[in-house]
């Protein structure tokens, strides 16, 4: 039996006592945890030590690269097109990947978008797309390459071979109170994105009520760390800081978010969804070397919609098929005349989750028809009895708990009252 080069207890003590681990120690630790030599209880202690004491820049880089090395890495160098990708840290009503991938593809740049499923109040891109009859998330590498050449974009599930160390560590962090840790968040996101193999990456780093990190400065710090990690790994990386104090768009759920995305691709849709889609597309295209193009024009002249239809059909979906509709609805109306001054993202995300749009455990099914459709946004004048939002589900027993989540989550005030949005949608850009 081979003698291990390090003792994990020594490494835990080093981090416990504010020390730094060297590249060899980190590489061994990640490998030993992946192959089961280091137990969950020991890695949990290490995660807590990192949570409490942080990591130096070099440690975060070494941890990220070690997690990349724990599995396979995709290679798109054989494609005839340049590649670019996007990652969002998650939010309420954040369906941007759906219109964004085909929009960028319309300009001849390939978008291999490996996405995930929702957990808790943040929705998952794959759950949304699975609302479309026939669409499948599982795509082989060969199928992905062929689809990128033909349709220009693919949104699919990541294979288990990409950064498996992160999969193990992510699950452990979720049950040990070590999720909100910038070195661990950054290495988790970037290990998967680097392993995906794209040449360029744009990060949508959110802050506010419905975001992973509420404080903008924490989100800015995370963005800076991730941009450095990407650049260190040879991936052209940029981050956009976006406001998630208010739900994005008017639809929160799965099928209804697909409908809204198709509206955007047809040249319509809510202004905030269009603004963020175009902004992220512009950055993705710039990093891929495509400049001086009218990005928004492709939403109006049919090019982006053509890319969407090709992308959906390539994965077995029917873009013209009817989407699921819930059997039960409940409309909430304004109790007075006035102005909608507050609409917090988190309560609406939790309410949609409780209606069945999300899951509490990874193995739970989702109700693709469940969700919330907003009829007013902060700043809109409303009259007594006017619908504010409609809740949808296939299980009417879910309405009461969803309404509980929304208590205090929205407020009608008077003309002249401050509109509580937390500022503009796009708060800044972080570059290398």
- Based on the domain organization, do 277 and 338 belong to the same domain? no
pLDDT of res. 256: 98
Active site residue 173: yes
- Based on the domain organization, do 280 and 346 belong to the same domain? no
| CATH number of the domain residue 111 falls in | 3.40.1030.10
- Residue 376 is part of which domain span? 328-413
**SS3 category, 200:** strand
Q: Which residue out of 192, 193, 354, 359 is catalytically annotated? A: 192
- How confident is residue 219, by pLDDT bands cut at 50, 70 and 90? very high
Active site residue 87: yes
pLDDT of res. 362: 67
- Based on the domain organization, do 132 and 226 belong to the same domain? yes
Q: Which residue out of 117, 173, 193, 368 is catalytically annotated? A: 173
Tell me if the pTM is above 0.75. Answer: yes
119 has a pLDDT exceeding 70:
no
- Based on the domain organization, do 361 and 239 belong to the same domain? no
- Based on the domain organization, do 312 and 219 belong to the same domain? yes
- What backbone phi and psi angles, to 5 degrees, belong to 121? -85, -10
Read off the pLDDT of each residue in 28-38 and give the average, rounded to a whole number: 96
**Interaxial angle between packed helices 216-232 and 57-69, expressed in degrees from 0 to 180 and rounded to the nearest 10:** 60
Active site residue 115: no
Q: Is residue 5 part of a domain?
A: no
Question: pLDDT digit string (tens) for 327-355?
Answer: 999 999 999 999 999 999 999 999 999 99
Q: Which residue out of 15, 86, 87, 238 is catalytically annotated? A: 87
Q: Is residue 280 part of a domain?
A: yes
255 has a pLDDT exceeding 70:
yes
For 127-152, the DSSP string reads: HHHTTSTT--S---HHHHHHHHHHTS
pLDDT of res. 116: 82
- Based on the domain organization, do 199 and 251 belong to the same domain? yes
Active site residue 166: yes
Question: pLDDT digit string (tens) for 74-84?
Answer: 999 899 999 99
**How many angstroms separate the first and last alpha carbons of the chain?**
45
- Based on the domain organization, do 344 and 199 belong to the same domain? no
Instruction: Provide the percentage of residues in the chain whose pLDDT is more than 90.
Output: 89
- What backbone phi and psi angles, to 5 degrees, belong to 76? -105, 15
Q: Which residue out of 85, 94, 166, 367 is catalytically annotated? A: 166
Q: Is residue 33 part of a domain?
A: no
243 has a pLDDT exceeding 80:
yes
Query: Which helix H or strand E contains 81, and what residues bound it?
Result: none
Average pLDDT, the chain: 95
Question: pLDDT digit string (tens) for 267-316?
Answer: 999 999 999 999 999 999 999 999 999 999 999 999 999 999 999 999 99
- How many angstroms separate the CA atoms of 145 and 42, rounded? 40
CA distances from 110 to 77, 154, 233, 317 (A): 11, 8, 20, 20
Q: Which residue out of 188, 219, 261, 392 is catalytically annotated? A: 188
Domain count, the chain: 2
- Based on the domain organization, do 204 and 224 belong to the same domain? yes
- Based on the domain organization, do 303 and 157 belong to the same domain? yes
């Amino acid at each position: 039996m081979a003698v291990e080069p390090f003792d994990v207890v020594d490494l835990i003590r080093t981090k416990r006592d504010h020390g730094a681990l060297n590249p060899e120690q980190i590489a061994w630790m990640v490998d030993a945890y992946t192959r089961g030599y280091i137990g969950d209880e020991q890695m949990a202690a290490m995660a807590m030590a990192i949570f409490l004491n942080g990591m130096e820049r070099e440690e975060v880089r070494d941890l990220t690269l070690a997690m990349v090395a724990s599995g396979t890495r995709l290679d798109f160098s054989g494609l005839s097109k340049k590649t670019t990708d996007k990652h969002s840290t998650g939010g309420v009503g954040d369906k941007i990947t759906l219109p964004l991938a085909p929009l960028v593809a319309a300009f001849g740049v390939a978008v291999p978008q490996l996405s995930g499923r929702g957990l808790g109040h943040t929705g998952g891109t794959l759950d949304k797309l699975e609302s479309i009859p026939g669409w499948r998330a599982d795509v082989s590498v060969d199928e992905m390459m062929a689809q990128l050449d033909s349709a220009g974009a693919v949104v699919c599930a990541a294979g288990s071979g990409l950064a498996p160390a992160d999969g193990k560590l992510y699950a452990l962090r979720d049950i040990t109170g070590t999720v909100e840790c910038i070195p661990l968040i950054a290495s988790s996101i970037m290990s998967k994105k680097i392993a995906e193999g794209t040449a360029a990456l744009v990060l949508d780093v959110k802050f506010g009520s419905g975001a992973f990190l509420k404080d903008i400065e924490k989100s800015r710090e995370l963005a800076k760390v991730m941009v450095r990690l990407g650049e260190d790994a040879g991936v052209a990386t940029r981050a956009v800081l976006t406001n998630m104090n208010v739900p994005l768009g008017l639809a929160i759920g799965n099928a209804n978010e697909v409908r809204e995305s198709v509206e955007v691709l047809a040249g319509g849709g809510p202004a905030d969804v269009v603004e963020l889609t175009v902004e992220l597309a512009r950055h993705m295209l710039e990093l891929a070397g495509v400049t001086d193009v009218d990005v928004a024009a492709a939403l109006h002249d049919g090019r982006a919609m053509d890319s969407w239809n090709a992308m959906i059909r390539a994965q077995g979906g029917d873009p013209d098929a009817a989407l699921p509709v819930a059997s039960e609805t409940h409309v909430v109306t304004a109790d007075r005349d006035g102005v909608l001054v507050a609409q917090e993202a988190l309560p609406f995300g939790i309410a949609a989750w409780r209606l069945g749009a999300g899951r509490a455990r990874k193995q739970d099914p989702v109700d693709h028809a469940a969700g919330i459709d907003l009829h007013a946004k902060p700043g809109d004048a409303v009259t007594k009895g006017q619908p504010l939002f409609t809740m949808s589900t296939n299980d009417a027993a879910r309405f009461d708990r969803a309404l509980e989540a929304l208590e205090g989550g929205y407020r009608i005030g008077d003309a002249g009252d401050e509109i509580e949005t937390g500022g503009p949608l796009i708060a800044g850009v972080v570059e290398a």
